[in-house]
Amino acid sequence: MEVKRIESNGFEELWVNMGPQHPASHGVFRMQIKVDGEVIKEVIPHIGYLHRGVEKLGEFLTPVQFLPVLDRNDYLSSVSNEFPFALAIEKLANISVPERAEYLRVIAAELMRISSHLVFFGTFCLDMGGALGGGSTIFLYAFREREKILDILEKWTGSRMHLNLITFGGVRYDIYPGFDKDLKDFLKDFENKIKEYEDMIENNPVFLARTKKVGILPKEIAMEHGCSGPVLRGSGIKFDLRKAKPYSVYNKFEFEIPSFPDGDVYSRYKVRLMEMKESIKILRQAIDGIPSGPINSLMPLKVKTHIKLKEGEVYEAVESPRGENGVYIVSDGKFGLYRVKLRTPTFYNLSVIPYLLKGALIADVVAILGSLDPVFGDVDR
């Protein structure tokens, strides 16, 4: 973008472009920032660089064929994209799920939650530290832990990121012999490592000075814009779909919901750190109590018109690592779907950016954008 100089009252203001290709914008995202010295006056965001037309694809693919395509929405935690779709179709078609399958779904969801929060952790410090410097050290440590999770998932389902695990009536892959030993070894090692990383970052006065009292989001603005997930819990509201409207078998596990009242970048980071520890608790309880039995209640699929739905509409939502991930389906009684609408969390979380960036310094842009944890497959679908 050319430099437009606006001269008013003798001061000059510059338009700076943080373009779609940028080492710190977490994906393809363009922001036009009006800058006066170091202070930001106005922000115009542009999205839509990753639009693939997923909602239109849902109208001529049948539900069974649509499941692997939905995986690619929020590519960092793919189970939380298939989960609400499967729950919605099961509600419309009255299919029940055996208990072992529910436990396996919960284990996969919590493992992907830890993996997604580790990616947040690594890239947050990488943006603030620099690619050659302290940030990349923490980035590589976080990804070293994530590799162990992805190895476990690869031995279980065959694929590392796009699992294609959930299907209507249960799950598709059963656990292999030796799974619980692998998982328990990993959990024991991970608890010690989390303590190490927490010590390493929190005793660092540079980190505290850059994240406390920066990017404060008050409660009312967060509720007005429809934010959810750690962005909402970092502003003092204790709302989590796993406790407010329990789905699957989450009411059998004991865990807590962290929330902090300050609303700055530090509390959002802290909420995600405590959530990782709560996920470890849930995983321990789940792996100790898996019942035996079948993993699917329908016969395995043969043709693409596997499920026939009756007329109606339904909305189901799930707590993904970024917020409330929901699917709204309208079906007209034939083999396809009339309309699929995906309510993705990052689209609404990003809409507070013009409010948050007004009055901040340029060096704060990366910290604030990183703390909202955007994934642009979610925003553009």
132 touching other proteins, by CB under 8 A: yes
Nearer to other proteins by Cβ, of 199 and 256: the residue is: 199
164 touching other proteins, by CB under 8 A: yes
Question: Which tokens sit at 1?
Answer: 């973008």
From 83-91, 277-285, 299-307, 373-381, give the range in contact with other proteins by CB under 8 A: 299-307
How is residue 251 annotated by DSSP?
G
Residues touching other proteins: how many (CB under 8 A)? 73
Nearer to other proteins by Cβ, of 17 and 333: the residue is: 17
185 touching other proteins, by CB under 8 A: no
* One-letter amino acid of 270: K
The answer for residues whose C-beta is within 8 angstroms of residue 7's C-beta and 6 or more apart is none
Binding residue (CB under 8 A) for other proteins from 32, 159, 248, 285: 159
Binding residue (CB under 8 A) for other proteins from 6, 140, 244, 330: 140
Pairs from 191-199 (Cβ < 8 Å, separation ≥ 24): 191/277, 191/280, 193/141, 193/145, 194/273, 194/276, 194/277, 197/121, 197/138, 197/141, 197/142, 198/273
Nearer to other proteins by Cβ, of 227 and 276: the residue is: 276
Binding residue (CB under 8 A) for other proteins from 50, 200, 216, 280: 200
From 103-111, 258-266, 287-295, 348-356, give the range in contact with other proteins by CB under 8 A: 287-295
What gap in Å lies between CA 54 and CA 295, rounded to an integer? 29
Minimum Å gap between C-beta 71 and other proteins is 8
Minimum Å gap between C-beta 154 and other proteins is 5
From 5-13, 280-288, 313-321, 357-365, give the range in contact with other proteins by CB under 8 A: 357-365
244 touching other proteins, by CB under 8 A: no
The answer for residues whose C-beta is within 8 angstroms of residue 363's C-beta and 6 or more apart is 38
3-state secondary structure string across 315-375: EEEEEECCEEEEEEEEECCCCCCCEEEEECHHHHHHHHHHHHCCCCEHHHHHHHHHHCCCC
70-89 residues near other proteins, rule: CB under 8 A: none
70: nearest Cα among 84, 88, 60: 84
What gap in Å lies between CA 357 and CA 43, rounded to an integer? 7
Binding residue (CB under 8 A) for other proteins from 88, 107, 128, 318: 128
18 touching other proteins, by CB under 8 A: yes
Binding residue (CB under 8 A) for other proteins from 13, 42, 99, 174: 174
Distance from chain centroid for Cα 99? 26
